[in-house]
Structure 1
Amino acid sequence: MRVHFTTLGCKVNQYETQILSQLFSQSGFDVSDSPEGADIFVVNSCTVTATGDKKTRQSLRRMKREHPGALVALTGCFPQAFPEEAAKITEADVITGSYNRKGLLPAIQKALITGERVIAITPHAKGEAFEPMEAGAFLDRTRAFVKIEDGCDRYCSYCIIPTARGPIRSKPLEELRRELVALAKRGYQEAVLVGINLSSYGRDLGLRLIDAVELACSVDGIRRVRLGSLEPELLTGEDIERMSALPKFCPQFHLSLQSGCDATLQRMNRHYDRAEYRRIVDDLRAHFPGCAITTDVMVGFPGETEEEFAQSLQFVSDIAFAKAHVFAYSVRPGTRAASLPGQVSPTDKEARSARMIAAAGATRRAFLDRQRGLIEEVLFETGRDGVYEGYTKNYTPVRVKSPLPLQGAVRLTEIGDNDGDVCEGVLLEERLTP
């Protein structure tokens, strides 16, 4: 039977879909990238926002409408966080959660045999262990995402993820080593360590994130090690110093900001203020000259006044992010922020988003301009018709034209002009050729 996966949400979800794909393939299913001819459709859901829930419902309804004879399964964060709501989605023949991922396969097999609807959501429990999982292959043959942590206990006032993902739990180092060795043997040159709250890695094992980073950098065949999104205040000065001693470590840090206003951060129940955030950025830039600092910024959080927004806007400009993902706050039922007074109007959210995107775009352009003239190693990931795109170690996107087969290759490249998003480049070997 043919199964097709749809993944919504973060890199962790993408990694887990890869695990599920392997599991189904090993059990004799034909895993297809195309929905055409599929007998089973699986939606791996995200529930960070109510919009994500809406996309999940739309996907399920579309699949059932376009493929009425197929079995449709819902899994992931949405049913884990809201099991009663998920159970009401009649288009889903099978429903499982984000915990016990491997339970999806037997649930689908049961539904296929009995013809009955199956709902099997395993609740999170205190002290639960990290679910063993090792990825074997990705569509991108140059970079592998490796999940090393799950769960969160930060309880930001706008976020449902602690409910959806449960307590913090971490991948043991020996399991991580085994997975990375296998990925290196399959030709992956870059490993991206990801987690739901990556900065909390190891708390349950008596370890820290730096321990996983140092192990990953020690694996032969892995040329680069990169980190996913980080909670800034959990990154210590000792961590930064130890990372700076690792030649394979990529100097790109995605430090989730959310707001550049202390009053807003307090209402969000974030665990740092602007001064601490700035100190961490300064420390990173001192240890990693030329590093990229990227972030997420929310506008229109409940109670955000024009003055508070102006403070956040100025802070984003002052930090000079290499890239910032800007998004407007949306009400997430089940969170404290949903009932906070001072909900900002859609019109003001839209206007503030536009202003913040413009400010972030200006700092993005300035960062890319600073790369002009540098000669950096670029790992080329995609290519078509002689045009290849890849990334430097600090995650600067570079595009080159070359007759050489570059996909999966690392080449010294001279960086040129940019269009505000991608830099043009010339291979150094071609630049030096008479």
Structure 2
Amino acid sequence: EDGCVNFCTYCIIPYARGPIRSLPAAEAAAQAAKLADEGYKELVLTGIEISSWGRDLEGRPELMDLIEAVCAAAPDCRVRLGSLEPRTITEDFCRRGAAIPNLCPHFHLSMQSGCDSVLKRMNRKYDTARYYESVRLLREYFDRPGITTDLIVGFPGETEEEFVQTLDFVKKCAFSAMHIFPYSRRTGTPAAAMAGQCSNAVKEERAHRAGEVARGLHQTWLESWVGQTLPVLFEEEKDGLWRGHAPNYTEVFAPGQGLHNVIKDVKIVEVYQDSLKGRV
């Protein structure tokens, strides 16, 4: 999928990339089957805005139609989703997704702010109540899914009170991991011309505070997996250990030999370097 028509006020992409162009599901499924035949063990459905996939195609198919087609075409591959617009997560999406055995239970829901007034200035199409409904649905239908997000701090006009609302909402969502960005002014976007541009010092200070919250949530997430067993797709050897990822996108290290592109069950024994460590 390429292109976007959401026109968030901070983003240049709709002007730079143009409207939505979707790869038809049959072509995507054929590509998935070919990659599986070549030995790949995990595929990622990605694009500029994959939640908009299908809106330009005949019959306006939904993203879950594409997911089902790709997962069926490559049943022995894990299928992971790229960044999702929160409103993509509905009861129907979760019900159908939970029935797919090779769909990774990892969902990256772009948030950008946890404050309704800031979300409105950003021209995001949801509020915090709708966002939290997505989080609730995912945890209802999937077994301990990894839920990750993006956060922009220091958006034009963001007050201390609005920022604190965001921190409180982040804690409520209890994300497994977060990407935090200070607002970056992009010439040609509506936000670049907004009043109340935050200073670099304010943006850096808020990014630091948000980062502290994110690190605490990530630590809690990691500790919750100690003693559990996760299937890990190993990717590379690093510092004498093999490194890979579980379906929930948690990074896992383990000793072993010849584990490249191999999936093994790993018993988690400890938190290790902002990741997990276990034994095959």
Normalised by the length of structure 1, the TM-score is 0.63
State the 1:222 CA deviation: 3.7
Distance 2:125 2:117 in 1: 12
Rate the CA distance shift 1:345–1:201 in 2: closer, same or farther, 3 A: same
* Residue 97 (structure 1) aligns with: none
Q: Aligned runs of 1:14-413 on 2, under 5 Å?
A: 149-205=1-57, 206-220=60-74, 222-384=76-238, 386-402=240-256, 404-413=257-266
Secondary structure at the aligned position of 1:307 is classed as helix
Alpha carbons of structure 1 residues 195 and 297: separation in structure 2 relative to 1, 3 Å: same
1:348-387 deviation digits (Å, cap 9, x = unpaired): 1111110000000100111111111111110001114641
Mapped contact 1:293–1:323 kept (Cα < 8 A): yes
How far apart, CA to CA, are the structure 1 residues paired with 2:5 and 2:48?
10
2: CA distance between counterparts of 1:386 and 1:359?
31
Q: Distance in 2 between matches of 1:188 and 1:225?
A: 11
Question: Is the 2:32–2:74 contact (alpha carbons within 8 Å) kept by the matching residues of 1?
Answer: no
Shift of 1:286: 0.4
Match of 1:422 among 260, 275, 279: 275
How far did 1:289 drift? 2.2
Letter of the 1:418 counterpart:
V
* Gaps in structure 2 of 5+ consecutive residues: none
TM-superposed CA distance for 1:277, in Å, is 0.5
- Rounded to whole Å, the distance in 2 between the matches of 1:349 and 1:179 is 42
How far apart, in 1, do the equivalents of 2:189 and 2:109 lie?
23
Counterparts of 1:322 and 1:220, CA distance in 2 = 27
**Alpha-carbon spacing, 1:367–1:385, altered in 2? closer, same or farther (3 Å):** closer
- Determine if contact 2:106/2:147 at 8 Å carries over to the other structure: yes
When Rg is computed on C-alpha atoms for both structures, the one with the higher figure is 1
CA apart distance, 1:234:
2.8
- Uncovered stretches (5+) of structure 1, i.e. residues with no partner: 1-148, 428-434
The CA deviation at 1:388 is 0.4
2: CA distance, partners of 1:220 / 1:300: 42
* Partners of 2:153 and 2:181 within 8 A in 1: yes
Cα 1:384/1:293, change in 2 over 3 Å? closer
- CA deviation profile, 1:56-99 (whole Å, cap 9, x unmatched): xxxxxxxxxxxxxxxxxxxxxxxxxxxxxxxxxxxxxxxxxxxx
Query: What are the Cα deviations for residues 250-285 of structure 1, in whole angstroms up to 9, with x where unaligned?
Result: 000000000000000000000111111011100000
- The code of the aligned residue for 2:109 comes to L
Runs of 4+ in 1 over 6 A off after TM superposition: none
SS at match of 2:187: coil
Q: State whether residues 151 and 166 of structure 1, in contact with CA within 8 Å, keep that contact through their aligned partners in structure 2.
A: yes
- Give the C-alpha shift of residue 182 in structure 1: 1.2
User: 1:185 touches 1:221 (CA, 8 Å); kept in 2?
Assistant: no
Larger relative contact order (C-alpha < 8 A, sep ≥ 6)?
Answer: 2
Checking the alignment, whether the CA contact within 8 Å between 1:227 and 1:253 is kept in structure 2 is: yes
SS at match of 1:331: coil
Are the aligned partners of 2:25 and 2:70 in contact in 1 as well (CA < 8 Å)?
A: no
Q: Secondary structure at the match of 1:260?
A: coil
Separation in 2, partners of 1:175, 1:313: 42
Task: Supply the AA of the counterpart residue of 2:199.
Answer: S
Give the CA deviation at 1:419: 3.6
- What is the CA–CA distance in structure 2 between the aligned matches of 1:370 and 1:420, rounded to whole Å? 15
In the TM superposition, residue 418 of structure 1 has moved relative to its aligned partner by 1.1
Where 1:195 maps in the other structure, the secondary structure is coil
Q: Which amino acid aligns with 1:425?
A: G
TM-score normalised to structure 2 length = 0.97
Query: Aligned-pair distance for 1:200?
Result: 0.8
What is the rounded CA distance, in whole Å, between the counterparts of 1:234 and 1:321 in structure 2? 18
User: CA RMSD for the aligned pairs?
Assistant: 1.2
Identity of aligned residues (%): 47
Equivalent residue letter for 1:280:
S
Distance change >3 Å, CA 233–CA 221, structure 1 → 2: closer
Provide, for residues 318-348 of structure 1, a one-character-per-residue CA deviation record: whole Å limited to 9, x for no partner. 1111000001001100000001011111111
State the alpha-carbon separation in 2 of the partners of residues 209 and 274 from structure 1.
Answer: 23
Deviations 1:206-244 (A, max 9, x none): 211101110111124642111000011133221111001
